[in-house]
């Protein structure tokens, strides 16, 4: 459904503004974004679209095409623990910035799956902030929007994420990847080689970042950073590397993952720039091994899906996103992609292509 038409059907009037943002898949660079490292996400074709207007009340009225019910929440309502928190949090941030105050009617249309590790929440928040900035006639930048969107997740939702998702959905378009250095937010948009085929496959296991496991990994990285006296766990000097052996085993493994993942991501960026598919694939595969064994964020279902993808011809396959379920991303020559995906899904009845 077109979000403007959905808004008219729901509220009986035309919206004041519409905006959108894509989902994203992270090709390589997991949990490096809040540890001062590099990431390489790419935009999906799937998008979150919003249409909204002021409603001259103190209520935020939210309707999504995915759900039958219309939800009403007062302006300034604290987090409730349901999906509408992301919309309310984004509007709360927009009000704090002076972009859009008071009650709002909001219609949401999305084909970005939630619980899949492809940034549906970041896309929703970003789309709402984009719309609010236009209503407020504010001149801003994609980087500033990304920073505000991250603040919504950190401060309102309580999710200690880095800034990769918000930068990716704000700066990348379909067919392009975002080479981002999270230590200083410098970035370059890279064209994905036309003969490379990436497929995002949902494992059938819903990923819930709010269940505590993502936060536990974040806190382990913070503990390691405090012990090693660094704000950038991805970029240790020789003295700090030598000190790794004195860390508890779990902290040593988490540090080893983010440190080596940062280096893999830098090498992968170079490989993509010159179109070296085999080098890029080898880095993706090593990334999954590290993510599964050192960061311990994979699951048996995910590992089986990765192994089967490789056995039937994928050049690379790895868990993508925050971990503990969700999606894998596979790499294969583009002319073999559709046949490969069909065979993989035939083997995994609960999996589906994003």
Helix (H) or strand (E) holding 215: helix 213-228
- Residue 20 CB neighbours (<10 A): 19
Beta carbons within 10 angstroms of residue 80's beta carbon: 11
Closest among 3, 39, 40 to 21, alpha carbons compared: 3
pLDDT in tens, the chain (354 residues): 799 999 999 999 999 999 999 999 999 999 999 999 999 999 999 999 999 999 999 999 999 999 999 999 999 999 999 999 999 999 999 999 999 999 999 999 999 988 777 889 999 999 999 999 999 999 999 999 999 999 999 999 999 999 999 999 999 989 999 999 999 999 999 999 999 999 999 999 886 654 688 899 999 999 999 999 999 999 999 999 999 999 999 999 999 999 999 999 999 999 999 999 999 999 999 999 999 999 999 999 999 999 999 999 999 999 999 899 999 999 999 999 999 999 999 999 999 999
Cα 205 from chain centre? 17
Beta pairing partners, 53: 105
| Measured distance CA(165)–CA(126) in Å, rounded | 10
176-181/186-191 β-pairing: antiparallel
Q: Strands (DSSP E) along the chain, which ranges?
A: 17-28, 38-54, 59-64, 70-74, 104-110, 176-181, 186-191, 196-202, 316-320, 327-333, 352-353
pLDDT attached to residue 23: 94
Collect all residues with Cβ–Cβ distance below 8 Å to 60 and sequence separation of at least 6.
Answer: 72, 73, 74, 75, 77, 87, 88, 91, 103, 104, 106
- Domain range list for the chain: 3-191, 196-353
77 is catalytic: no
What pTM did the predictor assign? Answer: 0.92
CB atoms within 10 A of CB 314: 28
Which class in CATH covers the domain with range 3-191? Answer: alpha beta
- Give the per-residue pLDDT at 208: 63
Neighbours of 137 (CB within 10 A): 7
Between the CA atoms of 57, 60, 65 and 67, what dihedral angle is there, to the nearest 10 degrees? -120
Contact (CB, 8 A) for 32 and 234: yes
Residue 154 has a pLDDT of 96
Architecture of domain 196-353: 2-Layer Sandwich (3.30)
Catalytic member of 33, 165, 181, 294 = 165
Surface-to-core class of residue 178, CB atoms within 10 Å of its CB (0-12 exposed, 13-18 middle, 19+ buried): buried
């Amino acid at each position: 459904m077109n979000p403007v038409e959905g808004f008219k059907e729901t509220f009986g009037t035309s919206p004041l503004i519409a905006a959108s943002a894509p989902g994203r898949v992270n090709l390589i660079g997991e949990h490096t974004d809040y540890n001062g490292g590099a990431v390489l996400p790419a935009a999906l074709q799937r998008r979150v679209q919003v249409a909204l207007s002021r409603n001259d009340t103190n209520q935020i009225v939210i309707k999504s095409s995915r759900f039958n019910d219309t939800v009403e929440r007062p302006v300034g309502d604290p987090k409730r623990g349901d999906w509408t928190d992301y919309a309310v949090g984004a509007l709360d941030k927009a009000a704090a910035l002076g972009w859009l105050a008071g009650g709002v009617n909001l219609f949401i249309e999305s084909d970005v799956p939630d619980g899949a590790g492809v940034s549906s929440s970041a896309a929703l928040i970003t789309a709402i902030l984009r719309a609010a900035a236009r209503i407020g006639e504010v001149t801003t930048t994609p980087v500033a929007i990304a920073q505000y969107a991250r603040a919504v997740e950190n401060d309102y939702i309580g999710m200690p994420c880095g800034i990769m998702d918000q930068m990716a959905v704000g700066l990348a378009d379909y067919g392009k990847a975002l080479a981002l250095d999270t230590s200083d937010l410098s970035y370059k948009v890279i064209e994905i080689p036309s003969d490379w085929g990436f497929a995002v496959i949902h494992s059938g296991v819903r990923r819930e970042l709010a269940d505590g496991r993502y936060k536990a990994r974040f806190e382990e990285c913070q503990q390691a950073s405090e012990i090693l006296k660094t704000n950038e766990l991805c970029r240790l000097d020789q003295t700090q590397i030598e000190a790794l052996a004195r860390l508890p085993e779990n902290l040593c493994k988490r540090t080893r993952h983010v440190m080596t993942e940062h280096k893999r991501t830098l090498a992968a960026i170079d490989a993509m720039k010159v179109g070296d598919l085999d080098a890029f694939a080898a880095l993706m595969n090593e990334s999954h091994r590290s993510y599964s064994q050192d960061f311990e964020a994979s699951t048996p279902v995910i590992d089986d899906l990765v192994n089967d993808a490789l056995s039937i011809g994928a050049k690379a396959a790895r868990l993508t996103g925050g971990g503990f379920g969700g999606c894998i991303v596979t790499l294969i020559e583009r002319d073999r992609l559709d046949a490969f995906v069909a065979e993989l899904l035939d083997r995994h009845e609960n999996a589906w292509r994003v």
